[in-house]
Amino acid sequence: MCTPSGSEAEMQPDKTPRNRRTALKSSSRPALLSAAMAAEAAGRDDATAGPEDCTEMGERLKDGNMKADLEAALPAGREDFAIQCRDVCRSYGKLKVLNNLNLTVPQGQIYGLLGPSGCGKTTLLKCIVGTLKISRGHITVLGKPPAFPGHDVPGKMVGYMPQELALYNEFTIGDTLTFFGRIHGLTRKETKARMDFLIDFLDLPQKTSLVRNLSGGQRRRVSLGAALLQNPELLILDEPTVGVDPVLRSKIWQHLVEIVRTGKVSVIITTHYIEEARQANVVGLMRNGCLLAEGPPDAVMKQHSATTLEHAFLQLCETSDQNGSKRGSSPPGGPLENSQSFESGKDESRPILAVGAGAAEEVPKYSADWKVRARHFLPKWRNIAALMIKTMVRMKRLPGSLCFQFLLPVIQVSLICLCVGGDPKGIQVAVVNNETSPTAYSQSLLSFLDNTSVQQVHLSHEEAFDGIYNAEYWGVIGFGKNFTSYLTKRMIQRQVSREVVDGGSVHVWLDFTNRQIALMLQKKLHEAFQAFVDNKLGSMSYLVSLPIKFEEPIYGSLNTDFTTFVTPGAVLSITFYLAVGLTALSFVLERKEGLLDRCWVAGVSSLETMLAHLFSQLFVISVQIILLLLFILLVFKMPNEGSLVLVIILIVLQGVTGISFGLVISSAIDDEQSANQAALGIFYPNLIISGIIWPVECIPYPLRYLSLALPQTYASEALRCIMYRGWGLSRMMVWRGFAVTLGWNTFFLILATVILKLRT
């Protein structure tokens, strides 16, 4: 367990303290006392112990009797440590959390790190394991600085139990321990043996139990088990006994006492139960980012004539506070100076520790050859494999999500093939035929028109134009009453009058608000007339062009481009999906962090939660919509013939639909990954089937019904009607878009509320 790895052997540190370690027996160690305590005992008025005071205290320590006492109290050579922190500083922005902190964890001992909430214990532990970088000072862990090339800290030499548990909810207990076993390079047999021991020792349920179904205390024990798994040389435990019953708590401490007995394992443990730390060999009392005292618990208590460690700690804090307030009233040597010394890095005092922690102490230099460095930075296949297996196990636990992921591309590509690029079917076109004879060319011509794509509705001139203005028909095909005779003239005479050309042409009026449909109609008419000419007239004809005259479109223009068609639908789709994105994770995260439950317990109802999310996100989408409209109308100059107010309301309502849909996802799904998958997975199919990229009229029939039921199909049509036809709410196609949107909003909100209610 403790044998140095090959990579370690290649390292050449100038100092190798670990090699000279000897196990310490706590009973043989005199007390290391805090400066505050000592100064108090010596009756010194100016003793201080606040965060900025570590420095001053150290200076006094160097001079006074206290120093002699402390040095006499040294347990052994200063190399006999598992962890040594010297002058460690760490800030979060302007907040100084660790302030010239000095701490020594003797080898083979339990070190209880005590201190009030927020004093910096977790920050210190993170610095020790190397997940946080220190701003100043140096830390040595098991002989080298953390994260030094070739050093197994972080790595298998250290078992770390973080405060926030950090477990995979979809894993079973067995999966969790197996995963960490793989990372640490344990064989299956070793992992199994350790797992059986830990499950029994930590009183865990059977190994097939899912972490997500465990109680808070059980999860904490699984997390502790993961830290103990590889029998590390150093155990760093951040509040392992919180939420653990007293019997198990005492068992854990017994175990810790047992594992350090060999002298090969060292432990640093933080706890809020100060009294349990009496079982530690050394306690460090931390406050405001530095240590107030460090020593065996009995010695600390004795020094304060306290019967409990908690009492001793309280006294230390009080002394520190009193001294802090005294010092606060003396500006010259006050906080400013100390703060400056912190920043300048010139302060060399040692606040509490007497174990050779002087500034004069040389910082050991470590070096590693290039092979070790290269190996350190290169990815390790063992870890990659372990992480990949972890991902696969998680996937296995979410089969629904996995199937969705597998099928999604197939569904999407199928939808594209079915719905994009095809010809429209059943497009209604009004035919105004003023020729009555069944043998007329007009009848013959119309018979060549593809009936599956174009549905002819024979009407009077007035009805036909009323129909196209009401968007009932996509076009009007008109034949004059002398069409046949004029067309015949055009065929047989080289030169004909304008009247003959006009009378012998088919007149076509199209609605160009939907470019794809208009172009398809043009194409179908051309094909029909080409077939008619080929069939009926042959090569004898003098006709140089097909007898079709496309009149000025009823709506839109002949130059209408694809962008104009796509923009209204795209605007709605963008608004809808941005809104989905804003809310799809809201409950997932809140539920995970227990915030939802907390609000419910405080009396907040599901509907109130929904509405609050809705209203707060409305602000975001309103700004998005304003910017969106400014761009499409002013920068890209999209036409808008209708009311801007209606345009804005419709887009906002679509945003609300997106929010409500996001809330449905959020209330129905528990983990972020699946919620993201659902939101993203639905995006593409919806875009394709809603007729945003390609007209709904081109979608094959069973799918077209689905399309019409979607929230954006009628809404995009309504927006096109407002913007390109200039229509208002009196038109069915406009109010239908609003009604469908409102209907979906209500449905989604009710659904989300019901799901949320049912799941609590």
Ligand X SMILES: Nc1ncnc2c1ncn2[C@@H]1O[C@H](COP(=O)(O)OP(=O)(O)OP(=O)(O)O)[C@@H](O)[C@H]1O
| Distance in angstroms (rounded) separating the CA atoms of residues 361 and 353 | 13
Cβ nearer to ligand X, comparing 120 with 284: 120
Provide the minimum distance between the beta carbon of 270 and ligand X in the complex, in angstroms, as a whole number: 7
Cβ nearer to ligand X, comparing 113 with 659: 113
Examine residue 220 and tell whether it contacts ligand X (CB under 6 A): no
Cβ nearer to ligand X, comparing 289 with 685: 289
Tally the C-alpha atoms within 13 A of residue 388's C-alpha that lie toward its C-beta.
Answer: 6
Report how many residues bind ligand X under the rule CB under 6 A: 12
Examine residue 163 and tell whether it contacts ligand X (CB under 6 A): yes
In whole angstroms, how far apart are CA 681 and each of 180, 393, 577, 668, 674?
A: 33, 22, 11, 15, 10
Buried b (16+ CB within 10 A) or exposed e, 473-511: bbbbbbbbebbbbbbbbbbeeeebeeebbebbbbbbbbb
Cβ nearer to ligand X, comparing 22 with 131: 131
Cβ nearer to ligand X, comparing 161 with 518: 161
Residue among 420, 394, 414, 419 at smallest CA distance from 677: 394
Give, for 354, the enclosing helix (H) or strand (E). none
Provide the minimum distance between the beta carbon of 123 and ligand X in the complex, in angstroms, as a whole number: 3
Contact 530, 652 (CB under 8 A): no
Residue among 505, 502, 492 at smallest CA distance from 441: 505
* Contact flags string 614-653 toward ligand X, x per CB under 6 A: ----------------------------------------
Residue type, 78: R
Cβ nearer to ligand X, comparing 30 with 116: 116
CA angle 345, 351, 357 (to 5 degrees): 80
Q: Of residues 342-371, which lie at the interface with ligand X (CB under 6 A)?
A: none
Cβ nearer to ligand X, comparing 124 with 692: 124
| Distance in angstroms (rounded) separating the CA atoms of residues 19 and 621 | 63
Provide the minimum distance between the beta carbon of 125 and ligand X in the complex, in angstroms, as a whole number: 8
| Distance in angstroms (rounded) separating the CA atoms of residues 335 and 328 | 7
Cβ nearer to ligand X, comparing 15 with 272: 272
* Contact flags string 98-137 toward ligand X, x per CB under 6 A: -----------------x-xxxxxxx--------------
Cβ nearer to ligand X, comparing 236 with 579: 236
Tokens 């962090």 belong to residue: 593
Provide the minimum distance between the beta carbon of 360 and ligand X in the complex, in angstroms, as a whole number: 30
Cβ nearer to ligand X, comparing 120 with 737: 120
Joined together, the tokens standing for residue 38 give: 């000592």
Mapping DSSP to helix (H, G, I), strand (E, B) and coil, where does residue 55 land?
A: helix
Q: Specify the stretch interacting with ligand X by CB under 6 A; choose among 92-100, 489-497, 619-627, 716-724.
A: 92-100
| Distance in angstroms (rounded) separating the CA atoms of residues 181 and 192 | 9
Provide the minimum distance between the beta carbon of 275 and ligand X in the complex, in angstroms, as a whole number: 16
Cβ nearer to ligand X, comparing 122 with 707: 122
Tally the C-alpha atoms within 13 A of residue 174's C-alpha that lie toward its C-beta.
Answer: 9
Q: Specify the stretch interacting with ligand X by CB under 6 A; choose among 91-99, 251-259, 602-610, 749-757.
A: 91-99
Provide the minimum distance between the beta carbon of 126 and ligand X in the complex, in angstroms, as a whole number: 8
Examine residue 424 and tell whether it contacts ligand X (CB under 6 A): no
- In degrees and rounded to multiples of 5, residue 493 shows phi and psi of -105, 140
Examine residue 602 and tell whether it contacts ligand X (CB under 6 A): no
Provide the minimum distance between the beta carbon of 166 and ligand X in the complex, in angstroms, as a whole number: 14
DSSP 144: B
**Chosen residue from 3, 92, 378, 603 binding ligand X by CB under 6 A:** 92
Provide the minimum distance between the beta carbon of 117 and ligand X in the complex, in angstroms, as a whole number: 3
Provide the minimum distance between the beta carbon of 128 and ligand X in the complex, in angstroms, as a whole number: 12
Question: 104: which residues sit within 8 A by CB, 6+ positions away?
Answer: 78, 81, 83, 84, 85, 294, 353, 355, 357
DSSP 421: S
Provide the minimum distance between the beta carbon of 54 and ligand X in the complex, in angstroms, as a whole number: 16
* Contact flags string 468-507 toward ligand X, x per CB under 6 A: ----------------------------------------
| Distance in angstroms (rounded) separating the CA atoms of residues 378 and 364 | 26
Provide the minimum distance between the beta carbon of 29 and ligand X in the complex, in angstroms, as a whole number: 26
Examine residue 95 and tell whether it contacts ligand X (CB under 6 A): yes
Provide the minimum distance between the beta carbon of 239 and ligand X in the complex, in angstroms, as a whole number: 7
Cβ nearer to ligand X, comparing 93 with 438: 93
Question: 558: which residues sit within 8 A by CB, 6+ positions away?
Answer: 512, 550, 552
| Distance in angstroms (rounded) separating the CA atoms of residues 307 and 589 | 46
Contact residues for ligand X (CB under 6 A)?
Answer: 92, 95, 97, 115, 117-123, 163
